[in-house]
Structures are given as C-alpha cells and as structure tokens.
Amino acid sequence: MIFYSTTKTSAPVSLKKATLEGLAPDGGLYVPSTMPHFSREEIDLLQSGSFKNIAFAIAKKFAGDEIPLDALSRLVEECFTFETPLHQLDTDTYVEELFHGPTLAFKDYGARFLARLTGFFAALDRRMITVLVATSGDTGSAVAYGFHGIPDTRVILLYPSGKVSRLQEQQLTTAGDNVFALEVKGDFDDCQRLVKQAFVDDSLRQKLTLTSANSINISRLIPQSFYYAWASLQLADRHPGHLPLFSVPSGNYGNLTAGVMAKMMGFPIGHFIAASNANDSVTRYLEEGRFEPKQTVRTLTTAMDVGNPSNFSRLLHFYNGNFRSMGQDITGIAVSDEETVETIRSVYQQYHYIMDPHTAVGYRALEQYRRQHPGKASPGVVLSTAHPVKFDDAIMKAIDRAVPLPKAMETIMNKPKTATMIGNRYEELARFLSGLDR
C-alpha cells in the first residue's frame, strides 16, 4: 500500500514511513493512494466474523507485504482485548460503546494499534522513536497507556492547561517511564499548532525521529475504521435491506474520517451525521460550501472543542473539494451545551441509560436529523466515545447522580501528577525536545 500527502508535493511513501513520519514533509496528511476495497463476496464472508476477524481483514489490506501475516495477527490480538458492544435503546437506535478499553475512551482503538505498529517498525530499524501528541483529553491518555512500556519509543503529550477533566489529566500525567506530559498555557489549537511546527522543524528532525499519534497519523485512523465495519455488519443481520446511519461526535474529525474510509472500502453504511458543538466550522461548510475556521469556543464537550480541525483536509481530499459531494454522505448538525445537558437527562429518564456529554451530542443530532428527514427507515448508531465517569460534573448537573468510578481508575486518581508547564510559544517546546536524551 502506497500513501501520499493531501498537498501532493511530497513523494509517496510506504505504511512504515507514513506511520513513523506522522505528518508528511510538506505539512500534508497521508492518505492511501487507492482505498482498499472489499467485494460483496468478501463482505459476506466477514458477516459472521468476530471483531478481530474484521480488524485483521482490513489491516491486512493496508499493510500489504510490509508486515508478516503472523506478526499482524498477533498485533491485532494484543490490541483488542475488550468488547465493542452495540447497546440497543429502541427498535432503530443503538449506541456503539467504544469506551471499554483501558482508558475508557474510543481513542484506545487507534492508540493501541498505532503503538504496536510503531514498536514493530522501530524494532526493525533499531532506533528510538519520539511520539509527539497534542491532546484535548482522551487522545493523550490513550496514547500514554497504549505506548507505555513499548520498547524503542517515548511519548511527549501536550495538553491545554485547565481544559481537560481531572480524570483525563490524571491519566495524562501519571503513566511515567517513557511517557512525558507537557501542560501548555493555551488551548488545544495551540497544542496542535506546536506539534505541527515541530514536524516541519528541519533542525529538530535531524536530532530526533519524530512521529505523531494524533489522528493526523494514518495508522490511528485505520483501526478506527474497524468498529464502523463491525457495527455495519452486525446491523445488516438485524435490519436487512437498510443501511445504518452513524452519528459521530466530531471535534478534530478523525473519527468521522475513519467512518468515511470504511464506507469507501465497501462496508454497508448509509450516511453520517457530523455532530458538533459550538465549534461548528465543518457544519457551516456543509451548509454553505465555505470553510472558515474560527477561534475555539469552550463547551461542555471539551474533546470536541476544535476550531480548525486537522482531518478536514482528508475529507476534502476524499470528496475532491466538493462540498455538495461531501454533503451526500455527511450532514452537519451543531448542538448547544443546553441541549446536551437536556439530552443526558431525557435519555436517562426514558431509557435509564447514562451518556457522557459527547455521546449526548451525537444522540441529539440523530434525533434532529430524523425530524428533518421523516420516513427514512434506517437504523441509527450513536458512537459513544467516552465513559460517562470522565465527565461526572456534567452528569451530576443533568441527572443529579454521580457515576461510580471504575476500580481500574481509582489507582490512577491517587497517583501524583507529573507534568512540565510550558507556554504556547514554539521555542519552549523546541527547547524541551532538544534536551531529551538521544
């Protein structure tokens, strides 16, 4: 499989190079030169397969001959040691729970796969890989625990000071060993900008082998396509003749991009809802055809507080820059904080089911889409991206009930925080990275 940059000025690369570089030298994001495709016969064979069977089948098409099949099979087995349940709320509405991994967030799927893939390639080259990550919360913790203890790798996490939940911060700052946390005086866009500057800093790249574990890394997106494929095949059995509609809580748009990739591969998916909060630049693009990023707005759904989403360039690439073409597959719907809290409350009252705020945004957007498109009989799937305990303040506000802390998290909450505070100027990040042991 060959990958090239969305800006099309860098040379095409292998999966190994795309994984270890993260960002292309020209500043673009890597995309497959040709999207792998599953025939109707292949889809039928996977219909009754396990999650791991489906994951392996997709990974094999992207890896080609770069990874021996036995090694790739072991990698998949090690990654997905947890369930991916479809929780049914009513006849046509499901919640795909993506928070059963070690850090209680959907980012575990991508981070664990990427960590082991990076470790495999690093071992081949016998070199230290420095993983540089900007996070608004869940990416960082998933990467921290995904890469923790992986030989020949170290992780530098940048997160916005005061803009992640306490549980998220504890996960970010307590892994230790080969994981380092940088608390940035700024917002997520500042963190993301600093990471991008590091990747185009030639003097730094001469000293360190840098890669990224953000969704700008194509090997983070590939495994996120697995759970769309899995859910679509599960629902094909339950709702024959109807293609599912996925409502995706969206901030940096990597999750949605992975879903689009699954649809392009041939899995039975009907349509997507890009469910946003007040940071609605993509929603406005889908309505008006103009992409106008704006300053990040702070909301209850902090992981979606992204004013200028990186993965939008991949979506533009897949749809040849045509917003009408994109709109045939994706509908953008923005949800306010007030609507988010009300949705948590109403879903709990109706179904006795507790949603985190991001999942509530996805559910509210699905409801709105159905009101706008009456008569479309499609099963709806809301992607639940985080365990509600991560946002206990919002849950308490909505239903006046605390979410019990899972036992696995109790130990993390009692660990001392270890983080280095830096400003939002690139010189401070460059100085920290230059001081790392070679």
| Residues classed as catalytic | 107
Dihedral sign (CA 261, 267, 271, 274): negative
Q: Which residues pair with 249 in a beta bridge?
A: 275
Quick one: which of 142, 100, 151 has its CA closest to 121? 151
- How far apart CA 303 and CA 145 sit, in angstroms, is 18
Please tell me what DSSP assigns to residue 302: G
Give the H or E element holding residue 333. strand 330-334
- How far apart CA 387 and CA 111 sit, in angstroms, is 17
Residue 148 makes CB contacts below 8 A (sequence gap 6+) with 155, 175, 177, 178, 179
Structure tokens at 113: 């796969």
Q: Which residue in this structure is represented by tokens 């704006």?
A: 294
The gap from C-alpha 163 to its chain's centroid, in whole angstroms, comes to 18
Number of neighbours of residue 124 by Cβ within 10 angstroms: 12
What per-residue string of b and e applies to 296-326 under the rule 16 or more CB within 10 Å gives b? Answer: beebbbbbbbbbbbbbbbbbbbbbeeebeeb
Quick one: which of 198, 188, 125, 139 has its CA closest to 168? 139
Quick one: which of 290, 260, 292, 289 has its CA closest to 273? 260
Residue 305 makes CB contacts below 8 A (sequence gap 6+) with 136, 163, 187, 188, 251, 277, 279, 296, 297, 298, 299
- How far apart CA 181 and CA 384 sit, in angstroms, is 26
- How far apart CA 16 and CA 60 sit, in angstroms, is 14
